[in-house]
Amino acid sequence: MAFLEVKNLTRIYGKKENQLTALDHVSFSVERGEFVAVTGASGSGKSTLLHLLGTMDDAQDGSVKLEGEDVLGMKEKQKAVFRRRRIGFVFQEYNLVPVLNVEENIQIPVRLDGKQMDREYLAKLLKILGLEERKYHLPEELSGGQKQRVAVASAIASERPLIVFDEPTSGLDLFHMRQVAEVVNRITEQGRTAVVVTHDPEFILRCCNFVIHMERGEIQESYSLCEPEGRERLLRFFLNEMG
Ligand code: ADP
Ligand code: MG
């Protein structure tokens, strides 16, 4: 049994003449400890896919199974608990709590689970992400890139086995992208699994071992970066995208 199994996943927005098929029978599976990159043009369904993996949305057809459990079939309450224990997120609209400072925001997922965060681990995260001097600041006092890094720290701070990231390094300069790559790389070292939407080939090469290219709600191609031709395919894809 795969760690994460997506079968025929279909998400249709709108009704009748306004219908739009954002995901069209998408199927793939992910083993524990893999770090999967999802790429594709804007509007190809990447965020829709992540929302479904994160149990934040419902599908018209298909299933998502995490460690054999049918995620989409759960009742709302059950989903909420499942999400809190098993899935970490970084979404494009950061979701930091405005009245909590950086340190407090990072600890939310751990605290929600009734636990305390290891102080040493917290200090290490803050240091690697260059947020040490900002730990008592509120989100409104941070730059966009800093907020993004707080969101990343918060998502990986708890021990949740699956983490989904929607463009965690978009808008970051090279230096900060590499900081983020360094911390997120630890996730899979800990045997956790990640799915990340990204347009950054360097980030993919630093962190990911599997790639899914999406086009108009479908998987155009998918491959492992451990295969000899994997890196070649990735570079070809980005060269094509650049025109
Ligand atoms: P991506 O993240 O790859 O840019 P999305 O998953 O956000 O793509 O969107 C896929 C398609 O679904 C797009 O055409 C988008 O306009 C449409 N879409 C996304 N969210 C909604 C929504 N809430 N209502 C209607 N259409 C949506
Ligand atoms: Mg998106």
In Å, how far are 10, 150, 182, 204 from 189, measured between CA atoms?
32, 21, 11, 16
What is the average pLDDT across 30-35? 96
Q: What is the pLDDT, as a whole number, of residue 210?
A: 97
Q: What is the pLDDT, as a whole number, of residue 193?
A: 96
Q: How far is the CA of 13 from the centre of ligand 1 (A)?
A: 8
d(CA 162, CA 3): 9
In Å, how far are 32, 136, 238 from 162, measured between CA atoms?
9, 28, 27
d(CA 168, CA 191): 20
Q: How far is the CA of 51 from the centre of ligand 2 (A)?
A: 10
Backbone dihedral angles phi then psi of residue 6, each to the nearest 5 degrees: -110, 125
The answer on pLDDT for 123 being more than 70 is yes
| Closest residue to atom 23 of ligand 1, CA basis | 13
The answer on pLDDT for 37 being more than 90 is yes
Q: What is the pLDDT, as a whole number, of residue 93?
A: 66
Q: What is the pLDDT, as a whole number, of residue 109?
A: 86
d(CA 61, CA 112): 31
Q: What is the pLDDT, as a whole number, of residue 84?
A: 85
Q: What is the pLDDT, as a whole number, of residue 219?
A: 98
Q: Where does the pLDDT of residue 10 fall: very low under 50, low under 70, confident under 90, or very high at 90 and above?
A: very high
| Closest residue to atom 16 of ligand 1, CA basis | 43
Question: Greatest CA separation found in the chain?
Answer: 55
Q: What is the pLDDT, as a whole number, of residue 94?
A: 65
Q: How far is the CA of 42 from the centre of ligand 2 (A)?
A: 7
pLDDT digits (tens, 9 = 90+) for 186-209: 888 889 999 999 999 999 999 999
